[in-house]
Structure 1
């Protein structure tokens, strides 16, 4: 079995104005991703997903070019089943033979950023292809799933103090969620305004529903500490990305100052970033995005670090159907796997890219048991939204 071709497409899906939300990223008018297709000489096909930016929108031309003109041609003629070897070829480039022989990395200069995102999309497609080849879901290839279903939390929460309770209660009613997440941070100005919204949310949903807050890395250390003091009595499930991912020591300082669990990872690119978070004792919860962090292969390594440090794994799943399925299967196969993010913003890539759906019933999501990632691509959707 040999790889015949690897092709990437930028999918740009406009969101109707009435369904758009506004955050620190601005008004979100589209959902964008890169769809990766790997085909073998014998006609077997696997699909993956890569992201240029962690949020909904993003200009993906550079990422598409990187896959189509660099990493894709590098792997043509290789056996797609040798996923670990191919990961090393992409990550180490012309020095991959040293890495494979000597047992440590010799990474290319672009060992972060969209280079790793490109590897992510190809890696997902290779695992999807291997699962189809063996007629087994990815979680089976990873050692089995620990449960047929995992709990999910509703992710959204942009409304003001007067309306945040109603918004979150609407999420809970839609899928029986037992946990929700709201956005805080620079969008509110002073941390006291975010704290007011958190208190309004907690009063509305009651004491028994999990409540998490996400600042998208927009506070500085002092602001993050202040916010924590203001909401310490609100029994938060976690405080996500309190400060920029570029300041891991600062994040450790925030964590040391509060009893609120700290979560981060959607802006990190590989196991070495997560190792640093663990060693600095900067977080309680790892949140890798499988379309960014290096794919399924790297996410399992990240999960192993989480398990070794007694941390939890809750993948960032603000993604399309392919990365969502990949994250769910990794969480189900990892000892540290805990909770799944479920986007309650407009997300056509989750609900329309695939013919299958991921319904939330009583707050739980079933882990797919179909071969590979368990996704059948809606080709009409892809053709409609491919950027030429």
Structure 2
């Protein structure tokens, strides 16, 4: 089996004004992602997804060019089943042969950022091909799933103090969710205003619904500590990205100052970033985004670090259908897999790119047993929203 072609496309899907939300990322007027299609000489086709930014909006021309002009041509003629080998060749570039022979990395200078995101999209497509070739879901190839269904939490929560309780209760009712997540941070101004919204949410939800908070890395260390003190009595499931990912020691300082679990990872790019989080004792929950961190191959390595340090794995799934499905497979196959994010913001790439649905019932999502990633791409939808 040989790779015949690799094609990346930027999908830019406008969101109707009435469905848009505003956060510290600004008004989200579209959902953007890069769709990767790999075809083999024998006709098998695998799909993957890569993201240029954590926020929904982003200019993805550079990511498309990197896949179509660098990684893609280098992969043509290779066996797509040699996923580990191909991952190392992409990550190590012209010194890839040294990495394979010597047993340690010789990474390219772009070992973070767009380069690793590009590897992510290719990696997901390779796993999709392997699953289809073996007529097995990816989780089966990773060692099997822990359970047929996994718990999910509803992710959103932008409303003000007067309406946040009603908004989150609406999430609970939509899928029987037992946990929800709301946004806090710089958009509220002083941490006391975020704390007021958290207490309003907890009062509305009662004691039995899990409540997480996400600051998107917008606090400094002092602000994050202050917020934690203000909400110590709210029994938070976790406090996500309290400070920027560039300040891992600061995050460790925040974690050491509070009993609230700290979650992080959507802004990290590979296992070495997560190793640092573990060694600094900066986080309790790892949240890799499989369209950013290096794909399924790297996510399983990250999951192994989490397991070795007795941490939990809860992938960042504010993504399109392919990276969402990949996160389900990785979490289900990892001993550290815990809970799944389910976006309740407008996300057409989750609900319209795939012909399959990902329903939530009683707060649980079924781990699909369809071959590969278990996603059938709606090519008509993809063509309609491709940016050229």
Please indicate, yes or no, whether the TM-score normalized by the shorter chain is above 0.5. yes
The Cα shift of 1:379 comes to 1.0
Secondary structure of 1:6 counterpart: strand
Alignment of 1:241-320 (within 5 A): 241-320=241-320
The Cα shift of 1:260 comes to 0.1
The answer to whether 1:136 aligns with 2:136 is yes
The Cα shift of 1:127 comes to 0.0
Match of 1:180 in 2: 180
Match of 2:159 in 1: 159
Q: Give the superposed CA RMSD.
A: 0.3
Secondary structure of 1:218 counterpart: coil
Q: Distance in 2 between matches of 1:184 and 1:13?
A: 26
Match of 2:380 in 1: 380
Q: Distance in 1 between matches of 2:381 and 2:292?
A: 23
Q: Distance in 2 between matches of 1:367 and 1:315?
A: 14
Match of 2:240 in 1: 240
The answer to whether 1:104 aligns with 2:67 is no
The Cα shift of 1:55 comes to 1.6
Match of 2:208 in 1: 208
The answer to whether 1:365 aligns with 2:342 is no
Give the unaligned 5+ runs of structure 2.
none
Q: Distance in 1 between matches of 2:376 and 2:327?
A: 17
The Cα shift of 1:57 comes to 1.0
Q: Distance in 2 between matches of 1:149 and 1:114?
A: 33
Secondary structure of 1:342 counterpart: strand
- 114-123 vs 377-386, which deviates more? 377-386
Q: Distance in 2 between matches of 1:379 and 1:276?
A: 40
Q: Distance in 2 between matches of 1:266 and 1:170?
A: 26
Give the unaligned 5+ runs of structure 1.
none
Q: Distance in 1 between matches of 2:166 and 2:64?
A: 40
Q: Distance in 1 between matches of 2:320 and 2:149?
A: 19
Q: Distance in 2 between matches of 1:19 and 1:51?
A: 22
The Cα shift of 1:102 comes to 0.5
The Cα shift of 1:56 comes to 1.0
Match of 1:55 in 2: 55
Match of 2:67 in 1: 67
Q: Distance in 2 between matches of 1:377 and 1:121?
A: 14
| Deviation sequence 1:19-71 (CA, Å, 0-9, x none) | 00000000000000000000011111000000000121111000000000001
The Cα shift of 1:380 comes to 1.1
Secondary structure of 2:370 counterpart: coil
Give the TM-score normalised by the residue count of structure 1. Answer: 1.00
| Deviation sequence 1:309-328 (CA, Å, 0-9, x none) | 00000000000000000001
Match of 2:149 in 1: 149
Match of 1:13 in 2: 13
The answer to whether 1:223 aligns with 2:223 is yes
Q: Distance in 2 between matches of 1:302 and 1:379?
A: 32
Q: Distance in 2 between matches of 1:223 and 1:88?
A: 40
Q: Distance in 2 between matches of 1:73 and 1:232?
A: 53
Match of 1:33 in 2: 33
Secondary structure of 1:5 counterpart: strand
Give the TM-score normalised by the residue count of structure 2. Answer: 1.00
Q: Distance in 2 between matches of 1:64 and 1:383?
A: 15
Match of 1:192 in 2: 192
| Deviation sequence 1:194-215 (CA, Å, 0-9, x none) | 0000000000010100000000
Q: Distance in 2 between matches of 1:240 and 1:318?
A: 14
Q: Distance in 1 between matches of 2:368 and 2:73?
A: 31
